[in-house]
Amino acid sequence: MEDLHERRRKMSSEKGEMILHTRIMSSSEDNLKGFILALLSSGFIGASFIIKKKGLRRAAAVSGVRAGVGGYSYLLEPLWWIGMITMIIGEVANFVAYAFAPAVLVTPLGALSIIVSAVLAQFMLNEKLHQLGILGCVMCIAGSIIIVIHAPQEQPISSVQEIWSMATQPAFLLYVGSVIILVFILVFHFAPQCGHTNVLVFTGICSLMGSLSVMSVKALGTSLKLTFEGKNQLIYPETWLFMFVVAACVIMQMNYLNKALDTFNTAIVSPIYYVLFTSLTILASVIMFKDWEGQSAGSIVSEICAFIVVLSGTILLHATKDFDRSSSFRGNCTPLSPTLSTRLCNGNGEMLQHDEP
């Protein structure tokens, strides 16, 4: 009897180890899929801004009226539409990436779109990349590689109700409550008083709402992923609630990011927004999805240091982007955030402040 009991215990232990190994392998594969999708997203989005700008120049050369002074001839330019379609493809890839990989991995990789945009601008638009800008690109790449190496393995999720339980845990509810209170204070107190003189007001609102929108995008993306796998999540009200939160947060982001871009220089708004948005998104993901749970202290420190390197490279690239170029280029926008709202708003800014052909 003891031998039989011992054999059953060993079989149960081996079965548990096999299940755990399968889950780890599945999680690693999902991280790889998310990483590849994030890279594709950065490539498509970075390229889309160059293609759109080339289309804007071509349209202005044909019509003689720039988009920045009210011209809409770019709507008849096929190259501009190719750029828009490329951006949409990139956004879809980014959305799906969040369904496979943790935000700690996907969000910082959005900075790679800057590199794509900067390199393509040098070859396609003859816009010189400064040596310090090249250093910034190298820093972004190096930091991204370290983040990928030390990226956490995400816990497998089986239903949207499981995500809802994560979203309603006390720690994350405290974060959501803090974000809502801060947004209300910024909107109703600081925005009327110093919103047009302090860049942190409008960008702070966008960043705070952006962190909630990414959590909702990840929840919605995971729900759709499970639905496509045959586990219908559309029957649960939580899925539709996450969809509503995504829409509400994106609309608010677009509104206040447009205000920030209209009030302040894009070279100031973009890096500040990227730093705040990415930092808050990673914080929200760590709280809600417990991305760092089970990781060693060394891996966490490595991810934080790599994130700082990526941020420094981003700021350096933006700080040097006005070097060795004409003053008409100062209004050009570079895609930074992994959210759709930022790219739409940056795209509007680019059309409003377009170069002379």
Domain membership flag for residue 191: yes
Domain end call among 291, 312, 331: 291
Q: What is the pLDDT of residues 116-132, one digit of tens each?
A: 877 887 888 777 777 88
Quick one: 122 and 174 in the same domain?
Answer: no
Q: Is the pLDDT of residue 106 over 50?
A: yes
Per-residue pLDDT, averaged over 170-192, amounts to: 95
Quick one: 287 and 217 in the same domain?
Answer: yes
Domain membership flag for residue 62: yes
Quick one: 170 and 258 in the same domain?
Answer: yes
Query: What local confidence, expressed as pLDDT, does residue 29 receive?
Result: 80
Domain end call among 109, 127, 145: 127
Quick one: 286 and 159 in the same domain?
Answer: yes
Quick one: 104 and 163 in the same domain?
Answer: no
Per-residue pLDDT, averaged over 53-69, amounts to: 71
Quick one: 191 and 274 in the same domain?
Answer: yes
Domain membership flag for residue 335: no
Quick one: 193 and 117 in the same domain?
Answer: no
Domain count for the chain, please give it. 2
Domain membership flag for residue 277: yes
Domain membership flag for residue 216: yes
Question: 24 falls in which pLDDT band (50, 70, 90)?
Answer: very low
Query: What local confidence, expressed as pLDDT, does residue 7 receive?
Result: 57
Quick one: 165 and 267 in the same domain?
Answer: yes
* Residue 90 belongs to domain spanning: 14-127
Per-residue pLDDT, averaged over 96-100, amounts to: 87
Query: What local confidence, expressed as pLDDT, does residue 48 receive?
Result: 85
Q: What share of the chain is helix, strand, coil (3-state, %, to 5)?
A: 80, 0, 20
First to last CA, the chain: 87
Q: Say how far apart CA 34 and CA 37 lie, in whole Å.
A: 5
Domain membership flag for residue 307: no
Question: 322 falls in which pLDDT band (50, 70, 90)?
Answer: low
Quick one: 106 and 33 in the same domain?
Answer: yes
Asked whether 144 and 303 are in contact (CB, 8 A), the reply is: no
Quick one: 188 and 267 in the same domain?
Answer: yes
Domain membership flag for residue 267: yes
Domain membership flag for residue 326: no
Quick one: 64 and 162 in the same domain?
Answer: no
Could you tell me the pTM of the whole model? 0.74
Quick one: 192 and 236 in the same domain?
Answer: yes
Query: Which is higher by pLDDT, 59 or 203?
Result: 203
Q: What is the pLDDT of residues 199-222, one digit of tens each?
A: 899 999 999 999 999 999 999 999
Question: 10 falls in which pLDDT band (50, 70, 90)?
Answer: low
Query: What local confidence, expressed as pLDDT, does residue 340 receive?
Result: 47
Give the DSSP letter string of 255-322. Answer: HHHHHHHHHS-HHHHHHHHHHHHHHHHHHHHHHHS-TTTT--HHHHHHHHHHHHHHHHHHHHHHHTTT
Domain end call among 259, 291, 323: 291
